[in-house]
Structure 1
């Protein structure tokens, strides 16, 4: 089972905005000190030729030289200060929550998923060099590819993502929401009050929990349409829809196409 946005691209034959493309990006002049605040993933790259810079995270300074056509990925919960010493550079800001959420889906649906280690890794930052021009527009397929082709060099980034509360919360919701539908019951199971649980979910998901769970249910049902030959009535029943017409309306309302259109194109 793959990430739903990827499936939509193949179904519709077009380009679909993923969860990263609305993120911040900018060009910075040489010699300028730029503060990049918040818990995020930052993609740093030269504009022309190479760029040299000091990347300061907390009390640690990392001298970097980035060649033309290369990208340095910095993931941090503490914010970053960057001072360029040579050449203009640009950055793209990637949502840490979206990256952690995507990793949950990738690992959860892999037959050989790695052990659940959320919360165990406490490093404040990850700095890795990535070959090629990594941008906000190709970050999602890049992360999917790295997760599928497991490489030891990616372990620090994946451990960092698993340590985020978003990873643990989304994994909890995927594991528990099929059998528990009320927010009160989910929050009790998670060990916090219902109001605090709603806040955590909105911070982690970027939207209300009920809408997110609706979209997850619909996405998983559509993936079953793509990957199987089960009748719409059986699919609707298995995914908790009251009828096949309810299933069709929900898919159409959320994604703009019907299950029948999906099946005809696969």
Structure 2
């Protein structure tokens, strides 16, 4: 089992609920997209899995360990096995791209190698290889403040690819990218997960990307799981209900193309991305 959440609740300091009674589990190697309107709890869910957020109630198991029962040293070791892609990667503006990528393995390296790599990058070839997968090989020595938002997101993805974690978490990893780069990036994340049998959980704003790349879709609404289904069983009716409080139709990648509906044997109507 890659992770298991049992009856998880998380509240904000102001008393509002971020997540309520969440029950969710995944086997090793699964690819799961988490979708839902703004404020549904998607980021909180990923932070729980990353062990950066502690629940108020319930039980969390990640990579077969209960993180909040571990010593500080063992918790650090567990976190080295988890990779997190942020919507806005937390990289110092003056940091070089190569250093940002190699930081993915700092926790796994001996202290002397980690310190040395901050002065002289220890694995130029490895960093270059991951950037090349994301069409950024020519930016290896650029400073992070010289990159666009979409380029920074790809650097964040490259860092996690270089880290080679067992659990990959991605919070809106392609929100600043155009359609071509978004599909390239998600394709590389899915390829990495499949090749190494790593678990991939990504929150996505664009429903068409979720349906295109992920076999399992979890819909979140008001901090609760609205549905947890194979992609082919996610219907337009379910999506309209999920996003009813935010818009008349589910959000898609370019903001204009609707989802196409293919009616199955049950007549339910399963949405498919128009650009498929």
Instruction: Mark yes or no: TM-score above 0.5.
Output: no
Return the index of the structure with the highest Cα Rg.
1
TM-score, reference length from structure 1: 0.28
Q: Which has the higher helix share?
A: 1
Higher relative contact order (CA 8 A, sep 6+): 2
